[in-house]
Amino acid sequence: MSAARHPDVLVIGAGIVGAACAYEFAREGLDVAVLDAGFAGGGTTAAGMGHLVVMDDSEAQFALTAYSRRLWEERAEDLPAECEFDRCGTLWVAEDDAQMEAVRAKHDAYVAHGIAAEVLDGRAVAECEPELRAPLAGGLRVPGDRVLYPPAAARHFLERARECGAEVRERCRVSQIRDGGVLLEEGGRLDAGAVVNAAGAEAARLVPALPIVPRKGHLVITDRYPGFCRHQLVELGYLKSAHVMSAESVAFNVQPRATGQLLIGSSRELVGWDASLNRDIVRQMLRRAIAFLPRLGTLSGLRTWNGFRPATPDKLPIIGRWDETEGLWIAAGHEGLGITTALGTARILADLLLGRTPEIDAAPFAPARFAAQAAS
Amino acid sequence: MDGRIEIRVNGKVVRVPADVSLAAALLDAGTAAFRASIHGAPRGPLCGMGVCHECRVTINGVPHRRSCLEPVVAGMEVVTGE
Amino acid sequence: MSDAIATTSAGASSGRLRADVAVIGAGPAGIAAAVRAADAGASVVVLDEGMRPGGQIWHHRTRAGLPRLARDWLDALDRSAATVVCGASVVDIEPGFRLAAEVRGAPLTVDAGTVILATGARERFLPFPGWTLPGVVGVGGAQALLKSGASFAGKRIVIAGSGPLLLPVAASLARAGARIAIVAEQAPAAAVRRFGAGLWRTPGKIAQAARYRAAFRATRYAWGTWATRAAGDDAVREVTLTDGRHTWVEPCDVLCTGYGLVPSTELARLAGCAIDRGRVVVDARQRTSIPGIYCAGEPTGIAGVEASLIEGEIAGLAAVGRARKAIERLDAARRRQRRFADRLDAAFAPRAELRSLAAADTIICRCEDVTAGRLRPEWSQRQAKLYTRAGMGPCQGRICGAALEHLFGWDAGTVRAPAVATRLATLIAEPTPDDAGDCPTQNRTKGAS
């Protein structure tokens, strides 16, 4: 990257969010540069499950995930085979009558928002997913949910951005954000019309006032067992695990990959940046999964790994202008929904940057909600 | 006794030496393709010691077993070429 | 008559053993370590993936065919109080130490105060067009298959690879009735001659080499010659060989290929042991950088049977605090074997041409069918994994990792549990409180012999 270059937008972070933003701006005809401290898609994106899911835990989340899921569907034909885009849908499973009440309420909320959903009783659940333990109380099938392989998607968006003239620089770490540009760890300065902090779990390293903390999650993947399950299977209790900031929790969350491998999540811990394998929580996570899928224990496990979700206090991402620094915008803090909401985030940010009104209400994601706290 | 035992490979009864590894027994029975690669190409044992996983077959209903590490046992049900 | 397969007495359900010393690997190094530690009074558990102790070089179905040295050590292991668990894949080592293993599909937990890693080595495979055809096997791979009962009688075999394994394997195959068409060593004649000239420092090896060569004097042996392509429909039928000037095709039923050995360091890396240039770093007592973990034999550097035995003895005695005399007795021999190993490496280093054998459509990662053309040299192992799935298959990057290190200089990535593909039930196994047992002496099932 030549020192004389002065892009319209400099995106910090080439994960799924940064890549989606880069593509969105480049498509609009802006001159874009993307920097990543490692390689594209190698951070939290590599530890994401790639579940494109509508989440109903708040109005704002509902709007953002539904909007974004729609954008993914529009983009689907353009995704190359490596992205493994699959229309398997989600099956939320209910263990008892209380959870079935929640299933019915969830169904009504989805349908009211125009999201197709279907309540299944215990027998219907057993029919469409024979490996689930029986009897379960029932479930909610969301046929419009999707899965994909996140690092390939990030790579694809950057490739598209490059085709529009964007420049991508890997193994290039930003040490500081200044008014009108950034300083690089290797030395030198890059100025840009606007800077976007899409550094994910590390976003607060560059903007300390951002209330983004790392929330660790583990994953396990099995050998190939095609047909073992057909939907992404999630327990209703997942919402509690994701959205209550307890020290540690696990939830049943299993995904069939295009390869026939089963991707098993999910766990959450607040342990700072400790990237070591936590065997105890992996065991808890596997036990929870085996409780729902009894034969899972007989399957061959190939690999465990973990990553850090960028978590905010109100569970919503931070998308918009950061007034404390000139020309700085934020697109970070997506916790466990970064893959799902990457496209919605990119579109909203592009709209805000170019002075347009976003298609959904962006106020709940405004950085100002935290800047006010930081200033007080 | 000729020291041979009977196992079933892909549904067919074959007589193989006793006291050998399943991989050796399958080679004796004329198996070339122990498994199929992702794109359907035939694969057979490479390392002989359980590292390469190319000798994998289904044994008694359990898939992904390394046949070079398994002693052949009379009555085994083996499926190859998957 | 063969020996029965040794099994744990803990039974098929989730088992637990406790011992002073856990030895992982029952090749020469592990056997020597276990014997010395057990004879010094420690309770010892040995875990090995194979059907019987012996590792690769002493792989056998009946002991009668083994060299005297092997039989003596195996007898010593029998006589010792060590518990030997075969068919055991160690998948994790937790601090303290708690080993998680899978034995014939059932979980086994071993609690040990000390761990000795004797995990041996494996062959290095360098990809070339057609190398994934059935019938293309390792040099050591052919040896292993032969020793586990495969028949090569009447088969026409081409051996094209590198290193001191070529001759003994050719001899074994010839004795078993195979027709060895040619043995092709890629190292140039001058390098091999220099290596041969240096053998006077390790006289035992001259005798070995002479014996092997005598076994098949009539066979063609070519230096500076390597395979560039294997061809066939559903199995290999012919291989193309070249010496850089002339190129020709040899028909064959089996092609043995392998370019030396590389240390198996996965468990050492999982446990956090320091690694230098692919070898586990150890001190004079065979201690790794992790207190309580020792390492002996090939993982500290490929050096052969004699070095493995010496290092195993030292590690076993060091684990019980009695290394000093052993070191005095054995240190000179250990250093001599290490120097031999270094000369070996230098003599049989893969030639430059081997790096360009793979075409864009040659498979590099066999588990995931990733071809060379999809990989970019400027990536890292991890980046290649995430972008192409190379290394994400059941072999966990063991086969392609050595090839990628050779082709692009990529370091191997981090290792996390499970170190071997294992049933998920093994990963969650926790020993039930009442079946924990101290590893008792003489606690091993011995079959009729």
Tell me the residues of C at the B interface, defined by beta carbons under 8 Å apart.
2, 5, 49-51, 56, 61, 87, 105, 122-123, 125, 132-138, 140-145, 148-151, 234-235, 264, 363, 366-369, 393-395, 398-399, 421
What's the token pair of residue C85? 């668990």
* Residue A87: pLDDT band with limits 50, 70, 90: very high
**What does each C-alpha distance from C338 to B25, C28, C304 come to in angstroms?**
39, 16, 9
Hey, are the CB atoms on A225 and B63 less than 8 Å from each other?
A: yes
What's the token pair of residue A207? 């903007």
Q: Which residues pair with C250 in a beta bridge?
A: C239
Q: What is the mean pLDDT of residues A258-265?
A: 96
Residue from C99, C269, C381, C386 whose CB has the most chain A CBs within 10 Å, to mutate: C386
By C-alpha distance, the chain C residue nearest B53 is C395
Over residues C232-281, the pLDDT tens digits come to 999 999 999 999 999 999 999 999 999 999 999 999 999 999 999 999 99
Average pLDDT, chain C: 89
Q: Which residues pair with A92 in a beta bridge?
A: A140, A234
d(CA B6, CA A213): 62
Q: Is the peptide bond before A313 cis (omega within 30 degrees of 0)?
A: no
Q: Confirm or reject contact between C266 and chain A (CB < 8 A).
A: no
Taking each continuous run of H as one helix and of E as one strand, the counts in chain B are 1, 7
d(CA C32, CA C308): 8
Over residues A269-285, the pLDDT tens digits come to 999 999 999 999 999 99
Cα Rg of chain C (Å, integer): 22
Over residues B15-64, the pLDDT tens digits come to 999 999 999 999 999 998 999 999 999 999 999 999 999 999 999 999 99
The shortest C-alpha distance from C118 to chain B (Å) reads 15
Hey, are the CB atoms on A298 and C386 less than 8 Å from each other?
A: no
Pair type for strands B35-36 and B56-59? unpaired
Whether C9 has a pLDDT exceeding 50, the answer reads no
d(CA A75, CA A107): 26
In chain A, which residues have their Cβ closer than 8 Å to the Cβ of C397? none
What's the token pair of residue A17? 């969010």
Hey, are the CB atoms on B62 and A298 less than 8 Å from each other?
A: yes
Give the distance from CA A44 to its chain's centroid. 9
Over residues A231-251, the pLDDT tens digits come to 999 999 887 777 777 789 999
Q: Confirm or reject contact between C104 and chain A (CB < 8 A).
A: no
Closest CA to A168 of A319, A321, A7: A7
Hey, are the CB atoms on B41 and C132 less than 8 Å from each other?
A: yes
By CB atoms closer than 10 A (0-12, 13-18, 19+), residue C43 is: buried
pLDDT recorded at residue A225: 97
In chain B, which residues have their Cβ closer than 8 Å to the Cβ of C58? none
d(CA A158, CA A36): 12
d(CA B46, CA C66): 24
Residue from A261, A302, A304 whose CB has the most chain C CBs within 10 Å, to mutate: A302
Closest CA to C265 of C411, C73, C47: C411
d(CA A68, CA A65): 5
**What does each C-alpha distance from A342 to A55, C85, C320, C334 come to in angstroms?**
14, 51, 57, 59
**What does each C-alpha distance from A312 to A14, A215, A316 come to in angstroms?**
20, 10, 7
pLDDT recorded at residue A189: 95
Counting as contact any 3 or more CB pairs under 8 A, the partners of C are A, B
In chain B, which residues have their Cβ closer than 8 Å to the Cβ of C90? none
Q: Confirm or reject contact between B39 and chain A (CB < 8 A).
A: no
Q: Which residues pair with A195 in a beta bridge?
A: A10, A328
Q: Can you tell me whether residue C211 is helix, strand or coil?
A: helix
What's the token pair of residue C82? 């060590």
Q: What is the mean pLDDT of residues A283-293?
A: 97
* Residue A211: pLDDT band with limits 50, 70, 90: very high
N-terminal to C-terminal alpha carbon distance within chain A: 40
By C-alpha distance, the chain C residue nearest A220 is C424
In chain B, which residues have their Cβ closer than 8 Å to the Cβ of A300? 64
pLDDT recorded at residue C3: 31
Closest CA to A3 of A40, A33, A47: A33
Give the distance from CA B7 to its chain's centroid. 10
**What does each C-alpha distance from C16 to B29, C37, C51, C96, C109 come to in angstroms?**
38, 21, 20, 15, 5
Instruction: Find out whether C90 and C100 touch, Cβ atoms under 8 Å.
Output: yes
Q: Confirm or reject contact between C422 and chain A (CB < 8 A).
A: yes
Q: Which residues pair with C422 in a beta bridge?
A: A301
In terms of phi and psi (left: phi > 0; alpha: psi -120 to 50; beta: otherwise), the region of A340 is: alpha
Interface confidence (ipTM) of the complex: 0.97
pTM for the full model? 0.93
d(CA A337, CA A68): 10
The shortest C-alpha distance from B29 to chain A (Å) reads 27
d(CA A157, CA C278): 37
Hey, are the CB atoms on B64 and A298 less than 8 Å from each other?
A: no
Q: What percent of chain A has pLDDT over 90?
A: 93
Hey, are the CB atoms on A39 and C416 less than 8 Å from each other?
A: no
By CB atoms closer than 10 A (0-12, 13-18, 19+), residue C247 is: exposed
Hey, are the CB atoms on A298 and B63 less than 8 Å from each other?
A: no
In chain C, which residues have their Cβ closer than 8 Å to the Cβ of A82? 387
The shortest C-alpha distance from A131 to chain B (Å) reads 16
Closest CA to A7 of A36, A40, A37, A30: A30
d(CA B22, CA A135): 40
The shortest C-alpha distance from C361 to chain B (Å) reads 13
Whether C447 has a pLDDT exceeding 50, the answer reads no
In chain C, which residues have their Cβ closer than 8 Å to the Cβ of B24? 145, 148-151
Q: Which residue has the tokens 């083996």?
A: B78
Q: Which residues pair with C101 in a beta bridge?
A: C90, C108
What's the token pair of residue C110? 């071993």
Counting as contact any 3 or more CB pairs under 8 A, the partners of A are B, C
* Residue A257: pLDDT band with limits 50, 70, 90: very high
In chain C, which residues have their Cβ closer than 8 Å to the Cβ of A151? 386-387
pLDDT recorded at residue C200: 60
d(CA C316, CA C300): 15
Whether C282 has a pLDDT exceeding 90, the answer reads yes
d(CA C359, CA A137): 55
Instruction: Find out whether A307 and A202 touch, Cβ atoms under 8 Å.
Output: no
Give the distance from CA A285 to its chain's centroid. 20
Hey, are the CB atoms on C423 and A298 less than 8 Å from each other?
A: yes
Q: How many CB atoms lie within 10 A of CB A59?
A: 12
- Residue C259's identity, in one-letter code, is Y
Hey, are the CB atoms on A277 and C421 less than 8 Å from each other?
A: no
* Residue A33: pLDDT band with limits 50, 70, 90: very high
d(CA A147, CA A85): 6
What's the token pair of residue C302? 């490929």
Q: How many CB atoms lie within 10 A of CB C214?
A: 9
The shortest C-alpha distance from A251 to chain B (Å) reads 28
d(CA A51, CA A57): 16
